Amino acid sequence: QRYSILRDLIQTTMEPQPDRLKIKREIGLIGGISIVSGTMIGSGIFMSPQFILSYVGSPGASLLIWTLSGLYAVAPFYLDCDPPQLLIKSIAAGAILLVTIVNCLNVRLAVRIQVVFLFAKVLALTYIWNGLYQGLWSYAGWYNLNFVTEELKRPEVNLPKAISIGVSLVTVLYLLVNVSYLSVMTPKELISSNAVAVTWGNKVLGSWGWIMSVAASLSAFGSLNGSLFSGGRLSFATAREGLFPEILSMVHVHRLSPTPSLIFTTFISLIVLLSGDFETIVNYSSFLGWFFHAITVSGVIYLRIKKPELPRPYKVFILLPVLVIIAAIYLVLAPILDNPQIEYLYVALALFSGIILYIPFIHYKVCPGLLTKLTVFLQLFLEVAPAEKNM
């Protein structure tokens, strides 16, 4: 009986209705800032700033690098021993699954978690600053709020405001923490440390130094929540434009969360987690990230020229996308030319392999009956239905 009722509901949502299913606008300015800042501040700020200093060789130059670039790096959690890889991946997989469940069950709870973890990590970093110690700088994640504009209240006002405030907050915070690191430790000590925040905790807090390890874990978990929250909306919007299977464009009929796209994002995340060690995963994500940044920003210029009539509540100065494209192309090509690695070939093959699936099944709709049956089955199983755009 339950499935028959749900089937009727799904069939109803397929037909034109005056009031169709929509994702609610649950994210305010504070939630938006939390997504931007909370996703940017991960475990890296606590762990391994020594790499940048070792590359540039100057404390002043390293501070300049933190200000001008968006390097993201995370060092091992422990100082004196390497924990088993199975344990590391199990904890990471558990965190991914926990965040997925929260995001599927309650959108508002996911936003509240993001706010709470942002405040927790800011307090931890402020304490480090007061102790005159500095950590790693990372800006990855500033763009994540763009993926959830449909759920953002007054996006034409809150989107640019949240990004500006969030990035400014993280920039000032990271610079203060970097100055703090270099004030307490010599460059040689900083470079030799495998987890700078933990080393700081041992020196400043003594027996309470383990708090920094906990703070790094909490910071990473908050960043994971923000990344999954926004990343799930990316495949959701892509499917709604007809570029991904239709099931990914649906939301839960009661909780209004994009459950299928969140599960899909989780599945991809777990595959990446199991694919290699930390360095390999960073090589994958960095290359892919800047590759798609270049493509996305190129789309801004293309639409500005080809579709000038489109509504644009927020219109960016055209020179800025051009500069971003130049920087993105450099950041994609420079590592390959400087130090070619097999990982880049794997990533390129993975990118183009998507064409093999897209052309027959999405573009030409080969075996539409099979996809339709699978979609209906998953709709019944996940209790999801199509949703209108929340304009």
- Count of CB atoms within 10 A of residue 391's CB? 6
Confidence of residue 388 (pLDDT cuts 50, 70, 90): confident
- Residue 276 has what DSSP assignment? S
Model pLDDT, residue 75 = 30
What value does the mean pLDDT of the chain take? 72
Percentage of the chain lying above the pLDDT 90 cut: 1
User: Is pLDDT of 339 > 60?
Assistant: yes
User: Is pLDDT of 34 > 50?
Assistant: yes
CA distances (Å), 281 to each of 74, 272, 277, in order? Answer: 11, 7, 6
Domain positions in the chain are: 2-14+24-274+341-386
User: Which sign, positive or negative, has the C-alpha torsion 91, 95, 101, 104?
Assistant: negative
How is residue 88 written in tokens? Answer: 């590391």
Query: Could you report the per-residue pLDDT of 38-72, keeping only the tens digit for each?
Result: 665 655 555 546 555 665 555 665 565 555 544 33
Model pLDDT, residue 62 = 59
Model pLDDT, residue 278 = 63
Q: Report the C-alpha gap between 79 and 90 in whole angstroms.
A: 20
Torsion of CA 369, 371, 377, 378, to 10 degrees: -160
Model pLDDT, residue 72 = 33
Phi, psi at 80, each rounded to 5°: -100, -10
Nearest to 125 by CA among 64, 169, 186: 169
Query: Could you report the per-residue pLDDT of 271-312, keeping only the tens digit for each?
Result: 878 876 666 676 667 777 778 888 888 998 999 999 888 877
Model pLDDT, residue 176 = 75
Give me the mean pLDDT over the 185-194 stretch. 71
**Better-scored residue on pLDDT, 93 or 209:** 93
Q: Report the C-alpha gap between 113 and 121 in whole angstroms.
A: 12
Model pLDDT, residue 70 = 41
Helix/strand/coil for 326: helix
Query: Could you report the per-residue pLDDT of 86-107, keeping only the tens digit for each?
Result: 767 787 788 888 878 877 877 7
Q: Report the C-alpha gap between 62 and 84 in whole angstroms.
A: 32
User: Is pLDDT of 263 > 80?
Assistant: yes
**Element holding 256 (H helix, E strand):** none
Residues 6+ away with beta carbon under 8 Å from 31: 111, 114, 115
User: Is pLDDT of 77 > 70?
Assistant: no
